Amino acid sequence: MSSTQSGSKRATPAMNVTPLVDVVLVLLIIFMVVVPKLQKGAQVDLPAVLNIDEEQRGRTDPVTLSVQSDGSLYYERDRLPEAEFESRLRAFHESEPLRRIVLRGDRNVQYGRMRVLYGICQRIGFPGVALQVNAHGQSASN
């Protein structure tokens, strides 16, 4: 046998990508489960708008106030009795006067209720009060 014949029977290496695909799929599943849990505030079904603000963060991160469909109030993820709402916000504003407020209201909460809460936040003196909504056609349950 010549050296050219024995060289052609050599095994060619092949890359097995199956373990890599398995690892990537496991990481994808982990991120799909963990990322929704990192959202701030209570779970509400937000209304939608057509024009979206491009900049979502200012100089400091805002504090999230949420109103669920049953009317319960949340300061970030902590349930807040309505009797303590204004006093708690005043105390927070005194401790961090540059922080902004984001109001998140479930789509089933009446507009008048959200407007009253918005007015309280403005009266306290927060430098920015925003209403969080979804882009038109999107539904979020974060």
Is the per-residue pLDDT at 82 higher than 80? yes
DSSP H helical ranges for the chain: 3-8, 18-34, 85-95, 111-124
Domain extents in the chain:
3-38, 48-135
Q: What share of the chain is helix, strand, coil (3-state, %, to 5)?
A: 40, 15, 45
Assign domain 48-135 one CATH number from 3.40.50.150, 3.30.70.260, 3.10.105.10, 3.30.420.270.
Answer: 3.30.420.270
Q: What is the pLDDT of residues 35-80, one digit of tens each?
A: 777 766 677 777 777 766 565 554 567 888 999 988 899 988 889 8
* Alpha-carbon torsion (68, 71, 74, 77), positive or negative: negative
**Percent of the chain clearing pLDDT 90 (strictly above):** 11
Contact 129, 100 (CB under 8 A): yes
Compute CA 105 distance to the chain's CA centroid, rounded to the nearest angstrom.
Answer: 14
